[in-house]
Amino acid sequence: MTDLADRLRPVAPEEWPTFSRALFSAFAEEPPASFTDAPPPHVELDRTLALWDGARVVATAGVYSRQLTVPGAVVGCAGVTWVSVSPTHRRRGVLTAVMRRQLTELREQQREPVAALWASESSIYGRFGYAPATWRGNLSGDVARLRLRPDVDPGTGRVDLVSVDDYRAAAPDLHERVRRWVPGNMARDDRWWARDLRDDPGERRGATERRYLLHTEPDGTVTGYAAYRVKAAWTEDGETDATLTVEEVRSTTTSAYAALWRFLLSIDLVRTVRAPDASADDPLRHLLADPRALHSRPVDALWVRLVDVGRALAARRYPAPIDLVLEVRDRFCPWNDGRWWLRGHPAGAFCARTDADPDLVLDVEALAAAYLGGVSLATLQAAGRVSEVSPGAVTQAGTAFRWPVTPWCPDEF
């Protein structure tokens, strides 16, 4: 297969049905009609790539323009999505060409310094410099054992079931406040709220429609929200075997968080509670009288790639001072390869190229894994991904790169 670059181009509006059918076919899924007929409002066609073989689309990819919370700051993030290659065109360098086109354009256009994606297969993206930087908790438990500690104070507010319209009116402002404190969280504009609140019956997989909760203080201030659904089931003995799936719980106060969970754990006819997208370090465990009742099976969530090492490292904050030279190995994006002088503290950071001797040597994947503060550089050193040149450099860098709040991304795209 020749001239890959010539046949890889953005999708025109009239080509969208061909693009979307090729995408869903590669994932062995049936596309919803609302997605096939025309691009949804959150789609950015100028950042959507298709590889053509005659009249057929044989590879797809897209980018969303997102805002990502990083330790102490917010940065532009290229949300990579829709990456697929037709079975007829695999093992021909197609995916490499797509990844190279995306990252090169980001660098040349001086756009987002960071890219991120959700990996359908975890063995693919490391060779392109991506690494898992957040984990979802995949929480579950038997509702009969999930009881809050008796000393937990749910406050004086109230929890109400509300319509999607009332939820839509209140949740965005609260989300905008809380997401800025959690590395890995992403901003949601009107297009993204519309996407996230879409609840097509064909995609419910036997569960109820999504239900919404708001927590309100006595003065009328909304301090929390939650979204969930229930899938009914019964045993042969006539006992309920229903599962409640909690999609999101956010709050600005501890009491609101406790009140929302108290409501969720008291819903009738439920045997099992699941919160697959909750943080791996969710506070719920510490609210429970029996912490072992909550089971967790963490899985990788957001994969991060530093497109521009200098800009990315200078954008975040560091809770402890750091003044080190990092030698970064980046085979796929050679503009990052080399030595970088990083100085940082809680109020800001500076990062630029240098010829000085390195204190640490690491590959760009290790740097990406540690970027949001959730993966220890000492752990990466133990795995052979970080080499210490100057004694104590791993301790200094590891302390500076960590963050008090565990990174978490509930926004799948």
What pLDDT is stored for residue 34 in this prediction?
73
Would residue 220 be called left, alpha or beta, if left means φ above 0 and alpha means ψ between -120 and 50 degrees?
left
Any alpha helices (H) in 242-308, and if so which ranges? 254-264, 284-287
What pLDDT is stored for residue 33 in this prediction?
72
Reported as a single tens digit per residue, the pLDDT across 306-360 is: 999 999 999 999 999 999 999 999 999 999 999 999 999 999 999 999 999 999 9
Quick check: 368 pLDDT over 80? yes
Question: Can you give the C-alpha Rg of the chain in angstroms?
Answer: 23
Reported as a single tens digit per residue, the pLDDT across 265-288 is: 999 999 999 999 999 999 999 999
What fold, for 139-298?
A: Aminopeptidase (3.40.630)
Among 125, 128, 212, 228, the one annotated catalytic:
125
| Mean pLDDT, the chain, integer | 95
User: Fold match between 139-298 and 309-401?
Assistant: no
Quick check: 7 pLDDT over 90? no
What pLDDT is stored for residue 32 in this prediction?
78
DSSP-assigned beta bridge partners for residue 306: 114
What is each CA distance from 326 to 46, 307, 315, 336, 394, in whole angstroms?
A: 35, 16, 16, 11, 11
Quick check: 230 pLDDT over 80? yes
Per the listing, tokens 């909550």 go with 294
What pLDDT is stored for residue 337 in this prediction?
98
Neighbours of 357 (CB within 10 A): 10
What is each CA distance from 128 to 43, 157, 369, in whole angstroms?
A: 24, 48, 13
pLDDT band at 1 (very low <50, low <70, confident <90, very high): very low
Domain boundaries, the chain: 4-112, 139-298, 309-401
Catalytic (active site) residue 413: yes
Catalytic (active site) residue 35: no
Q: Using CA atoms, how far apart are residues 62 and 84, in angstroms rounded to an integer?
A: 10
Reported as a single tens digit per residue, the pLDDT across 121-176 is: 999 999 999 999 999 999 999 999 999 999 999 999 999 999 999 999 999 999 99
pLDDT band at 300 (very low <50, low <70, confident <90, very high): very high
Single-letter residue type at 309: V
Q: Using CA atoms, how far apart are residues 186 and 208, in angstroms rounded to an integer?
A: 27
What is each CA distance from 351 to 151, 207, 409, in whole angstroms?
A: 47, 50, 26
* Two tokens, residue 178: 């809380």
What fold, for 309-401?
A: Nonspecific Lipid-transfer Protein; Chain A (3.30.1050)
Quick check: 103 pLDDT over 60? yes
What fold, for 4-112?
A: Aminopeptidase (3.40.630)
What percent of the chain stands above pLDDT 90?
92
Among 128, 167, 371, 413, the one annotated catalytic:
413
* Two tokens, residue 239: 């006992």
What pLDDT is stored for residue 91 in this prediction?
86
pLDDT band at 392 (very low <50, low <70, confident <90, very high): very high
Quick check: 259 pLDDT over 90? yes
